[in-house]
Structure 1
Amino acid sequence: MDISNNYALDYSNSYYYNQNNKDQLDSSVSDEETKSDTATQEEKPKNENELELDEKRVVFELQARDTEVRAHEAAHQAAGGGMTGGANFTYERGPDGKMYAVGGEVPISMPKGSKPEEIISNAQQVIAAALAPADPSAQDMSVASSARAMMIQAQQEKAKEAYDNLSSSNDKKDEENTSLIRIDISA
């Protein structure tokens, strides 16, 4: 059975912060104030004491998202062992000028197995890596499902091999038993 696949365990972006669209945060801010705030932010990042209340809330949400994304990807890496690569992150710049991870992915490669037992073992590790985070994404579930399908195929192949071995073993026993039986027919 020749199975080789590469996957990316992806924690998709479900939160975006757009500095230039502050009217989502505070609809009472005029366009001119937004433009001047954006220009100020681009010139010099604000420190925590200079942020408006809404901006502080956004920074807090970005910090929480950053922590969540990094923990999610670290769970994939820890469970995947040598099958996983380094995490790649998607970043958003907060109103404080700092970059926060808002999405990420960890590549995972399932090595080819020459025997069904190897494929089953590798697929189990891929499944464990995909489902390791507390909140697996849709991509994570898809990767686990694909690995599960490969595992089932390998289990079927293993069962067929066991059946064939048992069947050939029984055929040999039948031949041995047949050769011991002699029938004398006297007329």
Structure 2
Amino acid sequence: MELKNNYLSASTIYSELALKKSELANIDKKELEKSYFEKSDSVNEYSKYDEKDYERVLNRFKSSDSEVKNHEQLHASMGTTTTPIRYDYQMGPDGKLYATGGSVRFDTSIPKDEAGAMQKLDELQKAASSPDGLSRADLGIAHSANLNKMLLQSIQEGAIL
């Protein structure tokens, strides 16, 4: 019988511990909710910034948006594309979306005739390297087009069979 009493008392202790853990978890949950509410209850999140900071950041977003769009539109106007221009957007401090990056897919198929191939490679090289501030992808396309032109010229001259 003594064994049963020890077992019951241990069981009672474990159940009391579980109850206390549950109570502590509820208190922690309430404290977390309270702190979250206090953080999100601020009147204006941007009130700690002055108007000059806000305008400076907003102007950077606007400037980046126009630069990215001009860059990608210049690419698209100089070469044949296979898809529409794709832009990456980020929300500015005013809640509007601004372009922060973009890409254009060029038609990189090369015609079988040598004159058409040379013309297409010239077009690709110009389209990829036309804007200022070239990206790695821009440089890669321009470099590949230039290498292919050199290869094609070598074949035309009979240096490579």
Deviation at 1:85, TM superposition (A): 3.2
Q: Deviations over 1:14-57 (max 9, x none)?
A: xxxxxxxxxxxxxxxxxx9xx5499967xxxx9xxxx8432221
The residue matched to 1:158 in structure 2 has which SS? helix
Q: How does 1:38-187 map to 2 (within 5 A)?
A: 52-80=51-79, 82-83=80-81, 85-160=83-158
Q: Is the Cα contact below 8 Å between 1:126 and 1:147 reproduced in 2? A: yes
What is the TM-score of this pair, normalised by structure 2?
0.65
Q: Deviations over 1:128-180 (max 9, x none)?
A: 1001112222221111001111111111111119x99xxxxxxxxxxxxxxxx
Q: Which structure carries more relative contact order (alpha carbon 8 Å, separation 6+)?
A: 1
Q: Find the counterpart in structure 2 of residue 178 from structure 1.
A: none
Which is higher, the Rg of structure 1 or of structure 2? Answer: 2
What is the TM-score of this pair, normalised by structure 1?
0.57
CA distance 1:66–1:37, change in 2 (3 Å): farther
Structure 2 portions without partners, runs of 5+: 1-35
Q: Distance in 1 between matches of 2:81 and 2:149?
A: 16
The residue matched to 1:107 in structure 2 has which SS? coil
Q: Distance in 2 between matches of 1:110 and 1:36?
A: 51
Q: Distance in 2 between matches of 1:128 and 1:37?
A: 54
Structure 1 portions without partners, runs of 5+: 1-31, 165-187
Higher fraction of strand: 1
Deviation at 1:115, TM superposition (A): 2.1
What's the % identity of the aligned pairs?
29
